Amino acid sequence: MQYFPLFVDTQSLKILIVGAGDVASRKLDLLCRTEAEVHVIALELNAEVIAYQQQGRITLEQRPVSEYDIESWDLVYLATADRSLNEMLANVAKQRNIWVNVVDNPSFCRFITPSIVDRGRLQIAISTAGAAPVYARELRARLESWLPQSITPLFDFIAEHRQDVQTRLPIFKQRRLFWQRFFKLNQSRFDENTTAHYQASFSQQDGQGELLLLDPNIDAELLPIAAMPYLQKLDIVFSKHSIPHSLNELLRRDAARDSNWSVNSLEQALNAGEHCLVCADVAEVKRLAILFPGAKRFQVGAV
């Protein structure tokens, strides 16, 4: 993984953009949605940059840039039409430990800006590490069509009620199960029923846990799409052997791991309402399927 994705708090962030052409304007459009302090230095200005200055959203200097301008910034975007100037300023930024992005020149970038799906509090960042930005845009278009705009007020509603949930449900697992019930009832809508779904999620009871069975030798790419939601709900993964990396990447990352388990400990987890996965060889999977007839067994192309 060359680029590690991060979401940065933009409050009090100081950003410099060098250049004010069309490319710089596209970066500016995104940055002006944040709470960052944005400053632009450029010789030639387009109408969008001037409009942001007139709105008081950015500060602007219409003059040549120099290496002495590259200081005391948290992030720097270099988007002039002069490639050699961009590279020289990028080197200055790196020497001064300032994170820099040179537009269309990944080898001089300390960071890159992903393609972004913006639904208010819900942000999805997509990156191909600079290799195929066209594909990233196509994937973003698919997500844009799939995610309703009502997700924005829905997540505002959730943020407003998080403290109430923490007060009424002091145990972390209770809160996680509550939100699972809420999203199952409400889906991704925000409408006149959302408040009722919220209240109903407190009164619903969680029953017996869920057991999933899987032979870890199965190629992860051949698992059915229907398996993915189950794997992301896991509380505990029981496995006495190492799990292949490709399969491990599909599992809920903060699920507990138990390599010294028994049927008794598995029963206890299920009685406590836990979502459990057992990764074991075919013979053990068949035995557990008999002991636990309600278990779901993952096989190639089927659940």
User: Residue 256 belongs to a domain with what CATH number?
Assistant: 3.40.1010
Last residue of a domain, one of 132, 147, 162: 147
Question: What pLDDT does residue 238 have?
Answer: 96
Please report the pLDDT score of residue 205 as a whole number: 67
* Structural domain harbouring 74: 14-113
Q: Is residue 8 part of a domain?
A: no
Q: Do the beta carbons of residue 72 and residue 53 sit within 8 Å? A: no
Question: What type of residue is 159?
Answer: A
Q: Are residues 18 and 94 in the same domain?
A: yes
Closest CA to 21 of 58, 54, 47, 52: 47
Mean of pLDDT over the chain: 92
The two structure tokens encoding residue 223: 């698992």
| pLDDT(22) > 90 | no
pLDDT score of 220: 86
pLDDT at 301 over 80: no
Task: Please report the pLDDT score of residue 132 as a whole number.
Answer: 87
Same domain, 25 and 106: yes
Is residue 99 domain-shared with residue 134, that is, in the same domain?
Answer: no
Q: How many domains does the chain have?
A: 4
Average pLDDT over residues 45-54: 93
Torsion 181-184-186-187 (CA) sign: positive
Q: Span 205-215, mean pLDDT?
A: 83
pLDDT digits (tens, 9 = 90+) for 239-272: 998 899 999 999 998 899 999 999 999 999 998 8
Is the pLDDT at 302 greater than 80? The verdict is: no
Is there a domain that residue 2 lies in? Answer: no
- Report pLDDT digits (tens) over 89-134: 999 999 999 999 998 888 999 998 888 999 999 999 999 887 888 8
For the four alpha carbons of 169, 174, 176 and 180, in that order, the dihedral sign comes to negative
Q: Is residue 278 in some structural domain? A: yes
